[in-house]
């Protein structure tokens, strides 16, 4: 098919933040995750574990605890001392209330979803009433010294167990009194170290489960205050603990990166007497496992190594297969890199700054696999620091490279960049129009004349860019029907005629830019959209969904194309459908209209529509096989998917020109070295 000159970029120094806490919502199949930088993410298990919502962090807003209340309301609390409710359609904090007890270490909602309990630095446990549109302080429970690190409601909502340093306490919710206090290190003699109860769970049987800094998981009878069972799982802390809904399985995470499952099993076959047994150890993380969650079919753990690991339990699976596969997520499911094709620039988005780089060049050519000598090195042009505590939502560089834009929760910035020889000047565009903020996605038109701003309530604003450095609001598009969700993906046709916008309710609206009106809606497909792009010649919209399906929708004809129907009829290759990371970017090769270029974290693919689709018996990743075949034999083996897995983990790939690609990689080892050192463990032979 052809040779590409690949600019292999590894200087994007992204360090994903560690996972701080997890909250699994069993009804909706959604997992909320908070990172150490305060960002909150929501993963949709039904949509193939797609990271469907991201609320960027905030310097002053750490999140120590997350909880779902009445199914779909998400609350977070942190060391800032505030309890926040998140607006999941506008992807921002809806409201926040001061806890009034200093930094908040823990938070738990009762089973009916009417009350929130928080555990504070000052040793108080406070109850808040959940009311429509927010929360209201209700009362304090009996206060003692020592921060409350963890909390758990009894399923009947009558008692709360709270873990502190050296002690665990049980409160009666009605009276607010402490009805039991247990010294957890009573049994350990001559220990001067304090024992921190890191996590606690209150079972309906009246058993309180604690995990502590001595590496123990202990089971207590709260009424008698006696220790029922004690399991030492680690020499270092057991940081997190989660119980399954049936209360027959517990997952714990330790500071050595190991997670363990405990199961309540009969002592003998058929016996009624049951005991907690440590059954499965897992070592998926290299760093502290600060958060664990237990879904009905899987153990979920998140570590300071930024990994989210979903480990399905084989005994809960109906059949062995794709569903039972282990999932690991390290990188976001959206793109943090944008590329100025003409100017050969890359813009990297970090949490609080942007970096603009110019790619190097070569004047040599070579054969497959060769590394070409550089005649110009890549150049770091600009670092733009975002002012204020808010983290960046999105950013974009124009194709010509002369415009830069980014948005935070409350501010939108547009810059005009000028290149004069080796010097570069960046000038902020003053008086940007007041828009509905934040912007969730920014997209420049192909001729760099317009900027499209994805906004809340399904709206898209169009700004006209003016020389020498100004802009004006041209138009705002809204979907015909009321849409509460924000737009998170945009695609513009290169002729400047069409705009496609995907919003959080997974609807894709297409607008006609020439006559400023809504053109049509793509038939609803019940899965999250992960990438969108409009073909420069045919104006076909190519859509990638999180279940790995690909659709091609003809905008002028307002219907799926014949090729798309063929794909749906024949079905995509099984191996393609079983990939576990979503397509995050789609682009095209104007010289080869039949080619679609797409990539996910682990592969780059050129989809050649002119070739037959592979059936399940064919080898999907057949590039290495093809390379060994003689020219004549290749023809019969060719199929539409040309997959290259050489570049991993691939954060971004784009076509610079006809046969020149840019690939942005972030080797795991590169950012692992920037993480704090994990607990030193003796390994065999060292």
Partner 1 sequence: MAALCDSFTLCGLGPSGGVGLGGGLLALEPGPDPDHVLLTDRGRTATLFKVSDQKPLGCWSVKHGQIITCPVVCNFETREYIAVHDDKVLRIWKNTDINLDKVFKATLSSDVYRIHSLPYGGPIVLFKGGGVRTLDVLLEAPQQEIENIISDEVIKWSEAFMDGQQPVLIFTTEKGGDFFVYVQKLKMNNLHKYKLEQLELLKPLSFTAYIKNQIITLLCLYSNDSVYKVLIPLQQNSEEEEQILPKSQLLKLSVSGSVLKGTSFVVLDKDHIAVLGSLAAPGEESKECLTIWNTKFQTLQTLKELPLATSGQLWCYEEKFFFTHGKVLTVITYKCETSSLAAAVGKQKDSQTPDVSSFVNWNTLADEELVVSLQSQQSVVLKSESKMTLRSKRNSIAKVQPDTLSVGQILLNIKDTSTTVFEEELRQLISKARMPDFQASIGCVITALINRCKTNPKYYPRNFLLHIVQTQDLSYSLCPDLMAVALEKKDVHLLQICLQRFPDIPEEITYACLKVFLSISEAYLQRIDVNLESVICYIDIEFNNKEVKTEIVENGFNAELEQENIRNTEITKETHLTADCSFCPVGPQKAALLNAVLHSAYNEVFLLPHLKNLPAQQAVLFLRYLYYLYVKSSEKINTALPGIRSPTVSQIMDWMCLLLDAHFTVMVMLPEAKELLSNLHKFVRAQVRFYSELNKIEGSLRELQRLNHQKDSQTYSIEVLELI
Q: What is the binding site for partner 1 (CB under 8 A)?
A: 1-11, 360-362, 365-372, 374, 377-378, 606, 623, 626-627, 634, 638, 642, 644, 646, 661, 667, 669-670
Region at 593 (left for phi over 0; alpha for psi -120 to 50; beta for the rest): alpha
From the CB of 675, what's the least distance to partner 1, in Å? 17
233 neighbors 254 (Cβ within 8 angstroms):
yes
HSE at residue 445, side-chain half, CA atoms within 13 A, is: 17
Alpha carbon distance 356, 348 (integer Å): 6
Cis peptide leading into residue 604 (ω within 30°): no
* Size of the chain in residues: 686
Of 528, 534, 540, residue with least CA distance to 503: 528
- Taking only Cα atoms into account, the Rg of the chain, rounded to an integer number of angstroms, comes to 27
Of 129, 119, 77, 114, residue with least CA distance to 98: 77
Determine phi and psi for 193, rounding to 5 degrees.
-65, 150
Task: For CA atoms 676, 330, 336, 50, give the dihedral sign.
Answer: negative
Maximum separation of any 2 CA atoms in the chain, in Å = 84
DSSP string, 87-119: ETTTTEEEEEEE-SSSSEEEEEE-TTSSEEEEE
Q: Which is nearer to partner 1, 326 or 374 (CB)?
A: 374
Q: Which is nearer to partner 1, 75 or 348 (CB)?
A: 348
Q: Which is nearer to partner 1, 145 or 367 (CB)?
A: 367
From the CB of 255, what's the least distance to partner 1, in Å? 29
From the CB of 634, what's the least distance to partner 1, in Å? 6
From the CB of 362, what's the least distance to partner 1, in Å? 5
Region at 403 (left for phi over 0; alpha for psi -120 to 50; beta for the rest): beta
256 neighbors 281 (Cβ within 8 angstroms):
no
From the CB of 347, what's the least distance to partner 1, in Å? 16
Q: Which is nearer to partner 1, 362 or 494 (CB)?
A: 362
From the CB of 329, what's the least distance to partner 1, in Å? 23
Q: Which is nearer to partner 1, 438 or 614 (CB)?
A: 614
Q: How many CB atoms lie within 10 A of CB 218?
A: 22
Q: Which is nearer to partner 1, 463 or 606 (CB)?
A: 606
Secondary structure class of 533 (helix, strand, coil): strand
Pairing, β 238-243 against β 540-545: unpaired
626 neighbors 642 (Cβ within 8 angstroms):
no
Q: Which is nearer to partner 1, 9 or 34 (CB)?
A: 9
From the CB of 280, what's the least distance to partner 1, in Å? 30
Q: Which is nearer to partner 1, 346 or 354 (CB)?
A: 346
From the CB of 535, what's the least distance to partner 1, in Å? 19
Q: Which of 377-400 are b and which e, b meaning 16 or more Cβ less than 10 Å from the residue's Cβ?
A: ebeebbebebeeebbbbbbbbbbb
From the CB of 626, what's the least distance to partner 1, in Å? 4
Q: Which is nearer to partner 1, 15 or 446 (CB)?
A: 15
Alpha carbon distance 193, 330 (integer Å): 35
Q: How many CB atoms lie within 10 A of CB 414?
A: 24
C-alpha pair distances (Å), 275 with each of 202, 221, 359 = 16, 14, 62
Q: Which is nearer to partner 1, 584 or 622 (CB)?
A: 622
From the CB of 620, what's the least distance to partner 1, in Å? 14
Alpha carbon distance 205, 468 (integer Å): 72
Q: Which is nearer to partner 1, 203 or 664 (CB)?
A: 664
From the CB of 335, what's the least distance to partner 1, in Å? 20
Q: Which is nearer to partner 1, 313 or 337 (CB)?
A: 337
From the CB of 586, what's the least distance to partner 1, in Å? 17
C-alpha pair distances (Å), 533 with each of 263, 393, 553 = 48, 21, 10
From the CB of 645, what's the least distance to partner 1, in Å? 11
From the CB of 614, what's the least distance to partner 1, in Å? 14
Q: Which is nearer to partner 1, 517 or 627 (CB)?
A: 627
200 neighbors 208 (Cβ within 8 angstroms):
yes
Secondary structure class of 640 (helix, strand, coil): coil
From the CB of 422, what's the least distance to partner 1, in Å? 19
Of 449, 488, 437, residue with least CA distance to 332: 488
Q: Which is nearer to partner 1, 94 or 618 (CB)?
A: 618
Q: Which is nearer to partner 1, 82 or 355 (CB)?
A: 355
Q: Which of 476-502 are b and which e, b meaning 16 or more Cβ less than 10 Å from the residue's Cβ?
A: ebebeeebebbbbbbbbbbeebbbbbb
């Amino acid at each position: 098919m052809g040779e590409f000159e690949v600019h292999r970029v590894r200087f994007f120094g992204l360090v994903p933040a560690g996972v701080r806490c997890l909250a699994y919502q069993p009804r909706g199949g959604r997992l909320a995750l908070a990172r150490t930088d305060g960002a909150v993410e929501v993963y949709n298990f039904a949509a193939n574990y797609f990271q469907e919502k991201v609320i960027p962090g905030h310097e002053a807003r750490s999140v120590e605890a997350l909880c779902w209340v009445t199914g779909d309301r998400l609350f977070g609390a942190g060391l800032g001392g505030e309890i926040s409710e998140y607006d999941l359609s506008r992807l921002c904090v809806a409201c926040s209330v001061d806890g009034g007890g200093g930094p908040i270490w823990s938070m738990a909602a009762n089973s009916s979803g009417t009350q929130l309990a928080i555990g504070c630095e000052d040793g108080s446990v406070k109850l808040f009433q959940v009311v429509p549109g927010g929360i209201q302080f209700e009362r304090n429970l009996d206060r003692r010294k020592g921060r409350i690190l963890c909390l758990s409601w009894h399923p009947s909502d009558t008692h709360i167990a709270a873990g502190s340093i050296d002690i665990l306490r049980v409160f009666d919710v009605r009276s607010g009194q402490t009805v039991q206090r247990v010294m957890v290190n009573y049994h350990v003699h001559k220990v001067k170290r304090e024992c921190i109860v890191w996590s606690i769970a209150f079972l309906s049987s009246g058993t309180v489960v604690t995990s502590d800094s001595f590496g123990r998981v202990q089971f207590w009878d709260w009424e008698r205050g006696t220790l029922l069972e004690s399991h030492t799982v680690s020499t270092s802390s057991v940081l997190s603990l989660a119980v399954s809904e049936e209360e027959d399985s517990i997952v714990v995470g330790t500071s050595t990166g190991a997670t363990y499952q405990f199961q309540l099993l009969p002592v003998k076959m058929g016996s009624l007497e049951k005991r907690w047994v440590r059954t499965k150890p897992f070592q998926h993380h290299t760093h502290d496992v600060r958060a664990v969650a237990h879904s009905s079919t899987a153990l979920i753990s998140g570590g300071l190594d930024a990994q989210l690991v979903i480990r399905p339990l084989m005994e809960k699976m109906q059949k062995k297969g794709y569903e039972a596969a282990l999932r690991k997520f390290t990188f976001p499911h959206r793109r943090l890199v944008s590329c100025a094709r003409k100017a050969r620039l890359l813009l990297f988005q970090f949490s609080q700054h942007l970096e603009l780089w110019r790619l190097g060049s070569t004047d040599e050519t070579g054969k497959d696999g060769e590394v070409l000598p550089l005649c110009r090195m890549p150049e770091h042009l600009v670092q733009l620091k975002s002012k204020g505590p808010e983290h960046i939502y999105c950013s974009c560089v124009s194709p010509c490279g002369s415009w830069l834009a980014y948005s935070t929760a409350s501010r939108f910035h547009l810059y005009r960049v000028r290149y004069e020889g080796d010097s570069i000047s960046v000038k902020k565009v003053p008086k940007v129009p007041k828009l509905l903020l934040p912007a969730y996605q920014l997209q420049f038109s192909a001729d760099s004349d317009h900027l499209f701003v994805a906004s809340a309530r399904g709206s898209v604003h169009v700004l006209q860019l003016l020389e020498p450095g100004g802009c004006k609001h041209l138009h705002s598009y809204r979907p015909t029907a009321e849409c509460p969700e924000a737009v998170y993906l945009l695609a513009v046709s290169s002729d400047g005629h069409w705009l496609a916008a995907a919003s959080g309710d997974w609807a894709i609206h297409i607008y006609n830019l020439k006559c400023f009106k809504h053109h049509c809606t793509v038939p609803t497909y019940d899965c999250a959209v992960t990438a969108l792009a409009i073909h420069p010649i045919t104006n076909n919209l190519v859509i990638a969904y999180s279940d790995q399906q690909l659709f091609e929708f003809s905008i002028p004809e307002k219907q799926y194309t014949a090729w798309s129907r063929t794909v749906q009829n024949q079905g995509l290759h099984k191996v393609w459908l079983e990939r576990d990371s979503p397509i995050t970017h789609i682009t095209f090769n104007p010289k080869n209209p039949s080619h679609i270029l797409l990539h996910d974290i682990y592969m780059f693919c050129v989809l050649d529509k002119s070739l037959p689709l592979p059936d399940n018996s064919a080898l999907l990743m057949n590039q290495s096989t093809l390379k060994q075949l003689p020219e004549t034999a290749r023809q019969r083996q060719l199929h539409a998917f040309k997959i290259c897995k050489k570049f991993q983990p691939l954060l971004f790939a784009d076509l610079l020109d006809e046969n020149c690609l840019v690939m942005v990689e972030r080797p795991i080892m590169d950012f692992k070295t920037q993480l704090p050192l994990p607990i030193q463990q003796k390994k065999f032979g060292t």
